[in-house]
Amino acid sequence: MRLVYHRRVDQIERALPEAARAWLATIAIADKLAVLAALSGATRAVGKAPVAVAARGTWGVDELARAVLLARAFPRVTPREVWAHGDNRERQAVLKALPLLPQPEQFVELAVEACRANVLTVFEAIACDNPYAARYFSDAQLNQMALKAAFNGVQLARIVGLAERANAELARMARDFAAERTAAGRAVPADLDLLLKGAAS
């Protein structure tokens, strides 16, 4: 299990530019204060340029560097403490890192909390291009996340595993949402049918 964990981290680390990897190599992973300082200062150190991560969409270089750093430093540094004290970009990195950590199911409470975030980019970090919710959320948790995505105009195709997790209750919620939008004279998202796949289940 530990080998698989390190392999996952190695795979995403390869997407980092050389300068960012060199910066990560200077950080003493065994020094918690040094790691926390690096997590806080990553944007200044490596910038926010977009970088493609295989099967995970586009991240900022700082997000990817933070995710790798958190994965390397865990459990000395935990997602919860970075989430509690971090800014929005640090929080986004935490959420994107969750599938990389050992026993990811232990972070469901944090991920569900993130779904209530008012900052759209933070919400998207857990809802979009992230396999975490599909793997570890209950139907009720996933349904609420998917409906919030529809409400906020997030492309539903970016929700990983949505087709496999579609269910009758989600379809009912989507129909009610569409009816409310129509009654209010507002447009219904063109991709809302992705939430109706489980109508017959």
Distance CA 38, CA 33 (A): 9
Distance CA 44, CA 21 (A): 15
Residues 6 or more apart whose CB falls under 8 angstroms from that of 75 comprise none
At residue 2, the pLDDT reads 52
Distances (CA, A) of 121 to 9, 62, 118, 140: 23, 14, 9, 22
Q: What is the pLDDT of residues 24-56, one digit of tens each?
A: 999 999 999 999 999 999 999 999 999 999 999
Q: Which element (helix H / strand E) includes 141? A: helix 139-151
* Residue 200: band (very low, low, confident or very high) from pLDDT cuts 50, 70, 90: low
Q: Can you read off the two tokens belonging to residue 106?
A: 């232990």
Q: What is the pLDDT of residues 152-174, one digit of tens each?
A: 999 999 999 999 999 999 999 99
Q: What is the pLDDT of residues 144-154, one digit of tens each?
A: 999 999 999 99
